[in-house]
Amino acid sequence: MGTQNIRQGWLAERQLAPRWNVWASGLLNLVVLAVTAMVVWWIFFSNGGPLKLYTPLLGFSLVIWVLLVIIWQTEYFDYWPLKRPYLDAAHPLQKGGILTGIALGVYFVFIFGIMFYIIGRYGITYFNWNSLTQYGELGQDVMSTRETTSWAFICLSVPFLWLTTVLMVGGDKTAWPDSLQPGQGLANWLLMGLLSVPLYLVFFHPHIGSMFYPAQVYAAVPPWWKEIAGTNSAEYGLGILFCSVIVIFITLQLWEGRPWNLVKGQPWKFIAVVVGGLLLGFLFFKIQLAVMDYLWDEAYIGGQNEYNYGWRYSHTVTMGNFILVPAIILGTYFGEAFSRLAPWLRGLTMSVLSVILGLLFAWAYYAWAPVLLGVCEGVSHPSENPSAFLVLLIVLLNIHDAFMDKWPGYRLVAPEDLQR
């Protein structure tokens, strides 16, 4: 996701060149991305397809965790167990297929093997929808409990995603740098996981405990942010942390890692990313809420759809992703077209373009997605969450870039060619 300036593995040394000019190569890749996204969506997610994974929370929980695994593969584990000679020589389709298969395998082992089948059956009920149906005695069927479990997985992903990002950018993945893979990756991953679990328990677990009747106050304290946010929903914390992640990745894609790479030495860089990322993310969060207040008036307790506090908080994630997707596309497929501009002018130009394209993308989605993707009409329909499709696009962009060398629009430049 545009972190070439801080990577310390194979991806940092990889050099790609457009197969033709930047615009022709980028446009071809954009067409490949669009076609692939439509095919994947209709096979796996659409309610008109065979698997129907877009419920919508189940679909969102799946793609956000797959994205996390891909980031861990490339940023923490440096493509282990594949070796550099293979990464240099393999065809992008073959390499991409193997790496995607590994990512999906890790996802199933971690989420369904450990979280669902072990922890959900023998530890925490809400991580397994079958356990909720069996022990909950709430008269719920598997379809409704599946949404509760999917929401729990989404909540769990947010502190993992935020800490993965701030450790990757602010810490430069430097925990135990002399260790070989997979030891180095495992050390960094365990550090991130050790910090993520307490964040989840403080910012998300109280909400899930309050979802049941009666509220599970002996297992989860009542949501302590209710007076601040006007709602029990953990969407308040989700919106702030996710907006922070979005802002950090936009700076990596469009601003060449500025301002974070201007801070030298630890722990100052880590502190700068944590504090600065949260401040920028909170500002982004509040600006979006102000725009929603302007468009729809203020939300209120008990409000439905777009007048609901929780919906507005989560919708900041949706609109942020509408901007992030064009930012990644610009940085990944067309970045070289802006390379001659001064860094500040390049960042400003591409940021303005990302916002404009993101707003156009949002308008097009709500106008045409009901036909093209088979989703529900309306901005605030309770069965509609565009972030599932948007994060799927980000997953495919990462696979195309990090696993497939942006083939066919780009080609990998051989190491021997760089030395000439």
Domain boundaries, the chain: 10-404
pLDDT, average across residues 283-302: 96
b/e per residue 374-404 (b: at least 16 CB within 10 A): bbeeebeeeebbbbbbbbbbbbbbbbbbbbb
For residue 226, pLDDT beyond 90? yes
Closest CA to 18 of 7, 29, 2, 10: 29
pLDDT at 180: 85
8 A C-beta contact, residue 259 and residue 148:
no
pLDDT band at 5 (very low <50, low <70, confident <90, very high): very low
pLDDT band at 382 (very low <50, low <70, confident <90, very high): confident
CA angle in degrees (0–180, nearest 5) for 89-93-97? 105
8 A C-beta contact, residue 387 and residue 60:
yes
pLDDT at 120: 95
Q: Which of 47-56, 130-139, 300-309 shows the lowest per-residue confidence on average (mean pLDDT)?
A: 130-139
For residue 2, pLDDT beyond 50? no
- Return the structure tokens found at 379: 């901005």
For residue 379, pLDDT beyond 60? yes
Residue with the bigger pLDDT between 265 and 39: it is 39
- Looking at the chain, the number of H-run helices and the number of E-run strands are 17, 2
pLDDT at 138: 64
Integer Cα distance of 359 and 370 in angstroms: 18
Integer Cα distance of 249 and 2 in angstroms: 7
pTM of the model: 0.94
